[in-house]
Amino acid sequence: MSDNIQIETSWKDQLKNEFNQDYFAHIKQFIINEKAKGKEVYPPGKLMFNAFNLTPFEQVKVVIIGQDPYHGMGQAHGLSFSVPLGVKTPPSLQNIYKEIEQDLGFPIPNHGNLSNWAQQGVLLLNAVLSVNAGEPASHKAAGWENFTNAVIYHLSKKRQNLVFILWGRFAHEKELLIDANKHLILKAAHPSPFSAYQGFMGCKHFSKTNAYLQSCNLKTIDWQIM
């Protein structure tokens, strides 16, 4: 089955065993079944592995974990928290921008496309990689977390000095997959309007990430979105 997966070569090599697992066949069948019911599935198939295609395995420096894709028309493009150009910036991302402004002084951009972060080594990873239109968490039972947990585990085991940014209780659960002796783990509340002022605002995760990367003699991330 792995031959049919359109994913960047280094990731295909790292995850080749996952593509041949029963759970991955179940994911594929789950999506086929949802479409057969007349459901519209986001993001489009060609963008489902966009985070991996923009950020090859050896280029990952930072991992930002989201829950599942945006479920509004045209919002999801395979990157956690990000939306394509021309799509209104969602509330959680607006709060991320406010925190960057407070932390680093960068102005709030007029769009929500985070592809520039991805191209610098920020893996924008949703735990679930697909969703039905208008139905948040509708693919939670598909089996995606088996796959994305394997992604986190492989990164933790085979790489050094990564920064894992975990926002919200759901993301905090992924801490168990990460070797804290080899990597920096940053945790805070979710940037959603419901929780942003319960520990996300003021977390300074962006400056802390760059301070850690610099301490490891690694190139820092330019968090400014132009």
Sequential DSSP letters for 128-186: S--EETTBTTTTTTSSHHHHHHHHHHHHHHH--S-EEEEEHHHHHGGGGGS-TTTSEEE
Across residues 51-72, what is the average pLDDT? Answer: 97
Termini Cα distance of the chain:
39
The count of other CB atoms within 10 Å of the CB of residue 197 is 11
pLDDT of 102 strictly over 80: yes
Does 1 score more than 60 pLDDT?
no
Three-class SS of residue 37? coil
The encoded tokens of residue 87 equal: 């799509």
Position 145 pLDDT exceeds 90: yes
Q: Which of 3, 68, 103, 222 is catalytic?
A: 68
Section 49-78 average pLDDT = 97
Question: Does residue 180 register a pLDDT over 60?
Answer: yes
Distance of CA 99 to the CA centre of its chain: 18
pLDDT surpasses 80 at 2: no
40-51 confidence digits (pLDDT tens): 999 999 999 999
For residue 6, what pLDDT band results from cuts at 50, 70 and 90?
A: confident
Residue 68 bears catalytic tag: yes
User: Which has the higher per-residue pLDDT, 1 or 167?
Assistant: 167
pLDDT of residue 4: 64
List Cα–Cα distances, 3 to 6, 28, 31, in angstroms: 8, 14, 18
Percent above pLDDT 70 for the chain? 98
Q: Compute the distance between CA of residue 150 and CA of residue 156 in angstroms, rounded to an integer.
A: 10
Looking at residue 202, what is its pLDDT? Answer: 98
State which amino acid sits at residue 179.
Answer: D
Q: Which of the 8 DSSP states describes residue 124?
A: E
Q: In this structure, how many other beta carbons lie within 10 angstroms of the beta carbon of residue 98? A: 15
Question: Mean pLDDT throughout 180-205?
Answer: 97
119-137: per-residue pLDDT in tens? 999 999 999 999 999 999 9
Average pLDDT, the chain: 96
